[in-house]
Structure 1
Amino acid sequence: MSSVNGNNPAIRKILIADDSATERVNLTRILETAGYQVIPAQSGNEARALAESQLPDLVILDIMMEDGDGYQACRALKRNPTTKSIPVVMISSKSNSVDKQWAQKLGANAYIVKPYTDEDVLQQIAAF
């Protein structure tokens, strides 16, 4: 993949987990337009399984999801020797500092607050 929009060329395959189909479609559009391959998941538990089998370069997790929330998925990914080095970006409408600190404590590498712009998402990914 070429480095479009200054993207980090090391990041090519991104797993996104959000229980909202609208959010998954929007994130997929942003990422595919920028040249990334996207692996969609509808829950934290599905994201954990896909991360282990597909080994994405980065994982984007919504916090509030059925069947395993983003916090649980992040903790599990960071404790798993197979997935612990994959950067995790949390994405949520929860914007207070406690949520951000908790995500960081569980191993998240970045935090994006909804609503976000395309540029917000791409800038966070480019930081890796």
Structure 2
Amino acid sequence: MSAIKTILIADDSQTERLYLSRILQDAGYQVIVATSGNEARILAETHQPDVIFLDIIMEDGDGYQTCRNLRRQPATATTPIIMVSSKSNPVDMQWAKKLGANHYLVKPYTPGAILAQLTAL
């Protein structure tokens, strides 16, 4: 999917949002940021990004709930979702996939790992 232009990042950590934004902007992508799952859902429906990076542990709508909700909306049902979390348990990864996530990255990650996820879509 080489037509990726706009990416939505949802993470309640300002540090993580800035780090991931910088990686993606340096690679030439437009970035939209959300600080909660519910904000991410609204922004995804409004802006229809090409890819969504979702943290799992967030206030006001966690990543699992947000992923499930995005998959139920026609506008975002097929948008690639990459879960990004410090939760490294295989059960968390399986649950994310079951809810519709395309990929799962464990924090801390490298810029190369982020860009490789986009290339794999």
Q: What value does the CA root-mean-square deviation take over the aligned residues? A: 0.6
What's the counterpart of residue 104 of structure 2?
111
Long gaps (5+) in structure 1: 1-7
Residue type of the alignment partner of 2:89: N
What's the counterpart of residue 89 of structure 1?
82
Normalised by the length of structure 2, the TM-score is 0.98
Shift of 1:9: 2.5
Normalised by the length of structure 1, the TM-score is 0.93
What's the counterpart of residue 23 of structure 2?
30
User: How far apart in 2 are the matches of 1:115 and 1:24?
Assistant: 13
What's the counterpart of residue 56 of structure 1?
49
Residue type of the alignment partner of 2:6: K
Long gaps (5+) in structure 2: none
Residue type of the alignment partner of 1:32: Q
Once the two structures are superposed, residues 32-80 of structure 1 have per-residue CA deviations (whole angstroms, 9 ceiling, x without a partner) of 0000000000000000000000000000000000000000000000011
- From 59, 68, 73, give the equivalent of 2:66: 73
User: How far apart in 2 are the matches of 1:125 and 1:100?
Assistant: 18
Q: Secondary structure at the match of 1:31?
A: helix
Q: How many residues are aligned here?
A: 121
Shift of 1:82: 1.2
User: How far apart in 2 are the matches of 1:10 and 1:30?
Assistant: 18
Task: Tell me whether 1:10 sits opposite 2:3 in the alignment.
Answer: yes
User: How far apart in 2 are the matches of 1:35 and 1:41?
Assistant: 19
Q: Secondary structure at the match of 2:71?
A: helix
User: How far apart in 1 are the matches of 2:21 and 2:2?
Assistant: 18
